[in-house]
Structure 1
Amino acid sequence: MNNPESGRILIVDDDPIIIRILASALNYYDVLMFAKTGTEALKMIEQHEFDVVLLDATLPDQDGFEVCRKLQGKHMASDPRVIFITGRTDVDDETRALNAGAVDFIKKPVRVEIVQARVRTHLSLKLATDRLRRQSQVDGLTGVANRLEFETALKREWQTARRLQSPVSLVFFDIDFFKKLNDSQGHRMGDQHLKTVAKLLATAAKRGNDLIARYGGEEFVLLLPGAPLTWASSVAENLLAELKDMKLPHGESPYGVVTMSAGVATKIPVDEHYELLVEHADQALYQAKNARRNMVAKYQD
């Protein structure tokens, strides 16, 4: 094959001859890397995303079964499929590999056509699973993350921030007078405004762990791990100004255009109760909507 195929493959083996054979057999995938020890492999998997890991059972520093178990315990977003390729042919070894989390077990000496077929099969299954998972994480109307994905991300970032003792900021956004907009312009135009607002808000999720999600109805939430209150508030102020400058008509609003209100809260986690941050941001949003709307309110402890 001359054209690269979608797929990120990691080969883990301390035998340079096996690495060359496997690399040659799989050189049509767009990412192909290798490691010679279990420690090196685990470090690479933390730094890069892989779809399939070809793993030898016998490595210089630790056996492949232990590497596989550690890999399963990491619960990474890429969730690579592990295929053992090993000279150990005992049935107990195959059982150990599958119990450790591997999806397949190929015995040496390597047959290139078998490796190619097994990798292609497991890669296809993995990519299909990834597509289904992405669909389950996305709001069908706006294309941003849905509430479930937001809550999953918040739990993850809260745990990280608790370990690092760094802040986590949330910004809740609510489109002002949205029911009146739907009543006057129709639900089709209301849906279009939701898409426009979501697209605007997505521009603020600039860093890898930032997340914009539709929380429900006309309400969105922006997760900003590591951001202090002043920064999160500034981001919210800029977004409100940008939306107003877009001059989307809204005859039932006192502003004459589509606007939104925002509530901001920030906490440095000291326990597992991330729900309090959501509650505080929601309270701040309530303050903004009960004031003059089209404004940012900050929760103050």
Structure 2
Amino acid sequence: MPTTDRCRILIADADLMGVASLIGTLKDRYHVVTANSSDQLLTLLHQQSIDLLLLDTSLPGEEPFQLCEKLRQEDKTTHLPIIFVAPQASPQQEEKAFECGASDYIARPYTAPSVKARVKNQLKLSAALAELKRLNTLALDANPNTGLPGNNSIHQELERLLNSNEEYCVIYADLDHFKPYNDVYGFARGDEMIIFTANVIRVALHAAGCGHAFLGHIGGDDFMFTLPSSVAARVTDDILRRIDLEIPEFYSPDDRQRGHILAANREGVEQLFPLANLSLGGIDLAVRRFNSVLEMIDACTEMKKLAKQSSSSSVQICRRRG
């Protein structure tokens, strides 16, 4: 987490003078909370989101070094930066601190610039490790065809939006008449159309200044993306315009001129199919909130089905309240 986001620092120290000194050093840059015992420390860690712990070596209650070892074994705090604060320098105590999992060790008397630098460095390192973990998770979850985040990442993004107050739209994108194209032109050409569709969505998001918006690949020719409600209409119109303009280039000149292809349907009977187009179905969280991710997905699917009723590329976004 960037330090400019007012990270929450927990100072665990029973010495009022020591606490006041550390608060004075850090309060302008961080949100500071305090605990005067190990029990209170554990309660705060359970109740709040803490980004860094300053732990006094003489904190009352559970022995601080054992407490540090315990925190390292718990999922929520295993990567929490823990800086021990000692009343005086002690090489033996410093060694013990690092052996039990401490991130850093400060001995009094310390200077304010030194404390600030050590706290800042640990928060930067913690943020870098968290980002590395996020990227590794995305890589493991990525769709092999497009490289986009897969279903686990999509679910996490929807869960995040479910628990936030962000005014975002969630859009489900699905190519229509893709299977006949795949059957006639082959899987390799079909993969090219899927990659093209992913790139169209990505380019439209970037063009609207939403380069950091989430875009995931559900599988096959299905995608899901999220973006601010304020630009949803502009972005979805741009996506459909680009699809309708360039999709015909995936067909032979004769098929393009005819506007359809001959392929077998799901029953094995040959019939005429239109050229591929795109259906977008979505929900606007600025208008309606949902109780679960499944409810969000169901609503997007319902709107996508409505969009598919059109004979051309279409978008339907649910803006019903309640």
Provide TM-score, normalisation by structure 1.
0.61
* 1:7-22 matches, cutoff 5 A: none
Distance 2:220 2:276 in 1: 15
Match of 1:220 among 216, 220, 223: 223
Provide Cα deviations, 1:169-194, integer angstroms capped at 9, x if missing partner: 22221122211222222212222222
Q: Do the aligned partners of residues 67 and 182 (structure 1) sit closer, same or farther apart at CA in structure 2, a change above 3 Å counting?
A: farther
Match of 1:49 in 2: none
Match of 1:266 in 2: 284
* 1:1-301 matches, cutoff 5 A: 36-37=25-26, 40-42=29-31, 62-63=34-35, 86-88=56-58, 92-100=63-71, 101=77, 102=80, 108=86, 109=89, 129-161=133-165, 167-203=167-203, 204=205, 206-207=209-210, 210-225=213-228, 227=229, 231-247=231-247, 248-251=249-252, 254=259, 259-267=277-285, 268-270=287-289, 272-299=291-318, 301=320
Give the number of equivalent residue pairs: 250
Provide Cα deviations, 1:50-97, integer angstroms capped at 9, x if missing partner: xxxxxxxxxxx624976787567666xxx96x5767554997112233
Q: Do the aligned partners of residues 288 and 127 (structure 1) sit closer, same or farther apart at CA in structure 2, a change above 3 Å counting?
A: closer
Aligned-residue offset at 1:125:
7.4
Q: Do the aligned partners of residues 158 and 240 (structure 1) sit closer, same or farther apart at CA in structure 2, a change above 3 Å counting?
A: same
Provide TM-score, normalisation by structure 2.
0.58
- Give, as a single letter, the amino acid of the residue that structure 1 aligns with 2:190: G
- Give, as a single letter, the amino acid of the residue that structure 1 aligns with 2:145: L
Distance 2:44 2:149 in 1: 29
Distance 1:269 1:299 in 2: 9
- Give, as a single letter, the amino acid of the residue that structure 2 aligns with 1:211: F
Q: Note if contact 2:162-2:290 (Cα within 8 Å) is conserved in structure 1.
A: no
Distance 2:70 2:157 in 1: 29
Structure 1 unaligned segments of length 5 or more: list them.
1-6, 20-34, 44-60
Q: Do the aligned partners of residues 300 and 107 (structure 1) sit closer, same or farther apart at CA in structure 2, a change above 3 Å counting?
A: closer
Q: Note if contact 1:249-1:258 (Cα within 8 Å) is conserved in structure 2.
A: no
Distance 2:63 2:245 in 1: 67
Q: Do the aligned partners of residues 278 and 234 (structure 1) sit closer, same or farther apart at CA in structure 2, a change above 3 Å counting?
A: farther
Instruction: Please identify the structure whose Cα radius of gyration is greater.
Output: 2
Aligned-residue offset at 1:199:
2.2
Structure 2 unaligned segments of length 5 or more: list them.
12-16, 72-76, 105-120, 261-273
Q: Secondary structure at the match of 1:160?
A: coil
Q: Do the aligned partners of residues 189 and 220 (structure 1) sit closer, same or farther apart at CA in structure 2, a change above 3 Å counting?
A: same
Q: Note if contact 2:141-2:153 (Cα within 8 Å) is conserved in structure 1.
A: yes
Q: Do the aligned partners of residues 36 and 142 (structure 1) sit closer, same or farther apart at CA in structure 2, a change above 3 Å counting?
A: farther
- Give, as a single letter, the amino acid of the residue that structure 1 aligns with 2:213: D
Q: Note if contact 1:141-1:195 (Cα within 8 Å) is conserved in structure 2.
A: yes
Q: Secondary structure at the match of 1:36?
A: helix
- Give, as a single letter, the amino acid of the residue that structure 2 aligns with 1:97: C
* Percentage of matched positions with identical amino acids: 13
In terms of mean alpha carbon deviation, does 249-258 or 131-140 score higher? 249-258
Q: Note if contact 1:283-1:299 (Cα within 8 Å) is conserved in structure 2.
A: no
Cα RMSD between the aligned structures? 4.6
- Give, as a single letter, the amino acid of the residue that structure 1 aligns with 2:65: E
Aligned-residue offset at 1:241:
0.7
Provide Cα deviations, 1:259-287, integer angstroms capped at 9, x if missing partner: 32222332434552443332232222212
Q: Note if contact 1:144-1:202 (Cα within 8 Å) is conserved in structure 2.
A: no
